């Protein structure tokens, strides 16, 4: 069974900022003929511009008393259930209908068939495969161009003709519509999407040799995978050509997904991941107070530091960071390890240093700015846990930081008693330590403002 559908919209893309459905027609086709029909205008709850009125003839006055989408959603759902969604350029119509349902909090999924693609397969060599041109080619009379019923009826007649063409086609007559319509990439896409849940986690794209070629994370792995298939980037298309399988890990929350993705990318170094592959952190920026009580910053090897603020993949990266902080916080080069301490820095001469190096700024004022930099890149508590949602009802997830460093994550039953540090450490799986995990945690804390459970009392 087929649901042949055409919509009119007040926008060119399935994006609510650009347009909504203003008319829809559904023709139910049993493979031989149309057996049921539904047509209605829809109030889009937004303005229809003269441009789109000129295309369809549908005005704001015409839809003023029309039902809103949510009022006909059940009808659309019931009519298209267990049917193949057919349209001319099906991505457009299906995309809008899917997004309208998404706005109601409902995930709309149907198998689709495109009469444009079917026409290209069965009738190659035409100069155009627009509905208007195909109607002219097959002498199909369209009583109402650019109105949903007129175009849907024309599409249904075209569908009938294409089925007749297929029945005598030497290459395709013995093939089912599924085999005819689905390309290899479509089969892979459907296989991938069928495996991935609409849940938070980390997913792994694999090639035919089961090698990991890309690792990603998302609060909705299904939707994120869909975006890969819709990507127009050349690199993304190359990845899809190699894609053969997918694996995934549910995390239950975004922070654990972030941390796991970072660790896994460093471990596997997938060819299509551009970020977070570096796993060697050689230099860091640390701070201390000198004998005069002035906060000083230095670039030192990671191995020799016990007061590291941030770690980097090389000296040049650390220096670039420090130089940018000197400009942002009006710090002194002499107290950032870039000049001999107590020397008057060049920035003071060009009015970009307030003169701490020349005795022209008091220490408290200078330290206040330096401390704000330290605060930005430090935890408010050096020992804490974040307790958040787990992967299922009744489960909790935990992220642990000790001595200002990320230690690991784990899951536990909500009734589990955690009374000692050993209890916490028994729950988590200790992670390989990468300094940029702490950057991810601090950024997540800043954005989400979670309650931190201090572990200081358990260290006594």
Identify the band that residue 304 occupies on the pLDDT scale cut at 50, 70 and 90. Answer: confident
Residue 138 and residue 106 share a domain: yes
Residue 204 and residue 335 share a domain: no
**Helix/strand/coil percent split, the chain, to 5:** 40, 20, 35
44 by Cβ neighbours in 10 Å (0-12 / 13-18 / 19+) ranks as: buried
Residue 48 and residue 11 share a domain: yes
Per the document, the length of the chain is 460
State yes or no: pLDDT of 457 exceeds 70: yes
Render pLDDT for 153-172 as a digit per residue (tens, 0 to 9). Answer: 999 999 999 988 888 887 77
State yes or no: pLDDT of 187 exceeds 80: no
Enclosing H/E stretch for 354: none
Least confident span in 269-273, 434-438, 456-460? 456-460
372 by Cβ neighbours in 10 Å (0-12 / 13-18 / 19+) ranks as: exposed
Residue 456 DSSP class: G
Residue 451 and residue 340 share a domain: no
Q: Would you state the pLDDT for residue 341? A: 64
Enclosing H/E stretch for 451: none
- Domain assignment present for residue 275? The answer is no
337 by Cβ neighbours in 10 Å (0-12 / 13-18 / 19+) ranks as: middle
Residues above pLDDT 90, as percent of the chain: 62
Beta strand 34-41 with 21-29: parallel, antiparallel or unpaired?
A: antiparallel
Render pLDDT for 364-423 as a digit per residue (tens, 0 to 9). Answer: 999 999 999 999 998 999 999 999 999 999 999 999 999 889 999 999 998 999 999 999
Residues above pLDDT 70, as percent of the chain: 96
How many CB atoms are located within 10 Å of the residue 224 CB?
15
Residue 177 and residue 205 share a domain: no
The pair of structure tokens assigned to 57 is 């003839």
Residue closest to 175 by CA, chosen among 187, 183, 166, 184 = 166
Residue 334 and residue 227 share a domain: no
Residue 148 and residue 28 share a domain: yes
Last residue of a domain, one of 131, 157, 181: 181
Q: Would you state the pLDDT for residue 14? A: 47
Residue closest to 42 by CA, chosen among 11, 73, 21 = 21
Residue 149 and residue 10 share a domain: yes
Last residue of a domain, one of 123, 147, 181: 181
Residue 364 and residue 320 share a domain: yes
- Domain assignment present for residue 189? The answer is yes
Q: Would you state the pLDDT for residue 12? A: 59
Rounded CA gap, 186 and 183, in Å?
Answer: 5
Rounded CA gap, 369 and 442, in Å?
Answer: 19
Residue 134 and residue 16 share a domain: yes
State yes or no: pLDDT of 16 exceeds 50: no
Q: Residue 156: which domain range?
A: 2-181
- Domain assignment present for residue 161? The answer is yes
Residue 350 and residue 216 share a domain: no
Least confident span in 14-23, 277-286, 347-356? 14-23
What DSSP string describes 253-285? SHHHHHHHHHHHHHHH--TT--SS------EEE
Per-residue exposure over 407-433, b if at least 16 CB sit within 10 Å of its own CB, e if not: bbbbbbeeeeebeebeebeebbeebee
- Mean pLDDT score, 298-302: 90
Domain count, the chain: 4
Residue 241 DSSP class: H
Residue 302 and residue 208 share a domain: no
Rounded CA gap, 8 and 56, in Å?
Answer: 7
Least confident span in 85-89, 181-185, 254-258, 351-355? 181-185
- Domain assignment present for residue 428? The answer is yes
Question: What are phi and psi for residue 5, nearest 5 degrees?
Answer: -125, 140
């Amino acid at each position: 069974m087929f649901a042949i559908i055409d919509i009119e919209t007040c926008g060119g893309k399935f994006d609510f900022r650009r347009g909504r459905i203003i008319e829809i027609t559904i023709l139910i086709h049993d493979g031989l003929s149309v057996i049921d029909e539904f047509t209605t205008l829809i109030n889009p709850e937004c303005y229809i511009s003269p441009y789109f009125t000129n295309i369809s003839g549908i005005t704001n006055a015409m839809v003023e008393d029309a039902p809103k989408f949510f009022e006909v959603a059940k009808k659309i759902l019931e009519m298209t259930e267990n049917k193949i969604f057919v349209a001319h350029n099906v991505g457009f119509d299906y995309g809008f209908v899917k997004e309208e349902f998404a706005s109601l909090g409902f995930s709309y999924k149907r198998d689709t068939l495109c009469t444009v693609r079917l026409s290209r397969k069965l009738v190659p060599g035409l100069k155009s495969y627009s509905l208007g041109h195909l109607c002219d080619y097959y002498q199909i009379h369209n009583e109402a161009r650019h109105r949903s019923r007129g175009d849907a009826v024309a599409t249904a007649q075209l569908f009938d003709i294409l089925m007749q063409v297929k029945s005598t086609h030497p290459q395709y007559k013995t093939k089912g519509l599924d085999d005819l319509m689905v390309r290899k990439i479509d089969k892979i896409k459907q296989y991938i999407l069928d495996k991935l849940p609409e849940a938070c986690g980390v997913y792994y794209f694999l090639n035919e040799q089961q090698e990991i070629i890309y690792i990603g994370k998302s609060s909705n792995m299904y939707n994120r995978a869909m975006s890969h298939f819709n990507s127009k980037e050349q690199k993304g298309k190359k990845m899809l050509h190699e894609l053969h399988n997918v694996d995934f890990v549910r995390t239950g929350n975004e922070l654990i997904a972030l941390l796991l993705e970072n660790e896994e990318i460093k471990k596997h170094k997938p060819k299509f991941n551009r970020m977070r592959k570096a796993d060697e952190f050689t230099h860091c920026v640390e701070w201390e107070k000198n004998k005069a009580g002035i906060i000083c910053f230095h670039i030192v090897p990671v191995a020799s530091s016990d007061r590291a603020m941030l770690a980097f993949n090389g000296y040049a990266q650390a220096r670039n960071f420090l130089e940018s902080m000197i400009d942002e916080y009006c710090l002194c080069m002499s107290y950032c390890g870039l000049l001999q301490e107590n020397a008057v820095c060049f920035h003071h001469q060009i009015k970009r240093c307030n003169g701490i190096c020349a005795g022209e700024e008091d220490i408290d004022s200078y330290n206040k700015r330096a401390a704000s930099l330290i605060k930005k890149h430090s935890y408010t508590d050096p020992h804490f846990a974040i307790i958040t949602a787990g992967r299922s009802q009744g489960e909790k997830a935990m992220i642990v930081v000790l001595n200002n460093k990320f230690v690991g994550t784990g899951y536990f039953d909500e009734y589990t008693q955690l009374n000692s540090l050993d209890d916490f450490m028994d729950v988590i799986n200790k992670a390989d330590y990468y300094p940029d995990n702490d950057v991810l945690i601090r950024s997540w804390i800043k954005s989400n403002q979670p309650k931190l459970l201090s572990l200081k009392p358990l260290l006594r």
